[in-house]
Structures are given as C-alpha cells and as structure tokens.
Amino acid sequence: MAQSPELLRRLLRAKDRMDRAPHEEWPIHRLAQVSAVSGSHFARSFKTAFGVPPHRYLLTRRIERAVALLRDTELPVTEIAFQTGWKSLGTFGRVFRDITGESPGSIRARQRSTPHGREHMPECMVRAADRPNLKMAVLEKRRKTSVARMNHPSTEDLL
C-alpha cells in the first residue's frame, strides 16, 4: 500500500526532529503530534515508510552518535552515554554491545588504532558506513546469540 506524499512529508518531519535531537525523549505520542496523526497510525506508517519502528530508528541514531563521540573525542564513556540520551550507563552498555557486538571501550580502541582516512569523506557517507543494523530487534539478537552459545559453547562457556 503506497503512502500519500503528504503523510510521508509529515513522517519525515518527525524523523528530522529525531535526527536533530536524538538525545531527547521521543515517545510515540510526541512524534505523532509532530506528524499531526494518531499514535498508532504514526507507528504503523513510520515502519512502513522507513522499514524500522520509530524507537529502533532512534536507537540507531543514538548509537551512531555514541560511536562518533568514542572515535573523535576523549570524553569518558559515562559522559557519552548521557549526551546521547541514555539515563543509565548499564542500559547504554548493554544495548551498545547488543547492537554493535562490542563494548564502547573496544570500539574506541579499534576505531583509534585503525587509520581510516575518513577526514576526506563527506560526513553522510561516514555515518552510513557506521550505521548499526537494526533490522532485527535487540531482544531477537540476544535470543539468537544465546541459542548459538547453547548449541556451540566456547571454552569460556565451559569453564
């Protein structure tokens, strides 16, 4: 089912707001107000238009920003967590690891040790290359990882 151009403009308005301020709280009712539609209609239409639910899209933006801050600044991980909209360092670390597969500290170390020549690339291209894949829900990723560990335990799991 194709969405009307007017609805797509409204959805883009909400998406742009999340892009400009991913550190803010963006509950569905607030995004729906920006788009001038009901909450349930907004959630369904957003997923149809952009392929991911609004919350997952927001997580993507927050993690992208956190990776950039880890790479480009000396800020402590705690400060990066709070600047990117997380209320709890533990939640930030768990979700960050679930999405990227690495801890914030290991991402920082790897990003800094690898010369990447990104200073000559447009920022939009760098962001696209670093964008986490959130086509799958975080809980689904966790479930698949735990099933894989049960089926193929590593030596660490056996100790």
Angle at 44 between CA 94 and CA 141, to 5 degrees: 25
Report the CATH number at residue 61: 1.10.10.60
Same domain for 86 and 11, yes or no, is: no
d(CA 134, CA 141): 10
132 vs 99 pLDDT, higher one:
99
Task: Give pLDDT tens digits for 5-52.
Answer: 999 999 999 999 999 999 999 999 999 999 999 999 999 999 999 999
Same domain for 26 and 84, yes or no, is: no
Distant-in-sequence, close-in-space partners of 80: CB < 8 Å, separation ≥ 6? 66, 69, 70, 73, 104
pLDDT attached to residue 11: 96
24: in domain = yes
Same domain for 88 and 110, yes or no, is: yes
Helix (DSSP H) and strand (DSSP E) numbers for the chain: 10, 0
158: in domain = no
pTM over 0.75: no
How crowded is the C-beta side of 120, counted as CA atoms within 13 Å?
3
Same domain for 107 and 144, yes or no, is: yes
Same domain for 131 and 71, yes or no, is: yes
pLDDT attached to residue 154: 57
Q: Name the region of 101 (left: φ>0; alpha: ψ -120 to 50; beta: rest).
A: left
How crowded is the C-beta side of 133, counted as CA atoms within 13 Å?
4
By the 8 A CB rule, do 59 and 134 touch? yes
130 vs 77 pLDDT, higher one:
77
* Residue % of the chain over a pLDDT of 70: 72
d(CA 33, CA 53): 17
Same domain for 14 and 63, yes or no, is: no
Q: What is the DSSP letter of 22?
A: T
157: in domain = no
154: in domain = no
Number of domains forming the structure of the chain: 2
pLDDT attached to residue 118: 59
Domain that holds residue 37: 1-51
Mean pLDDT within 81-108: 93
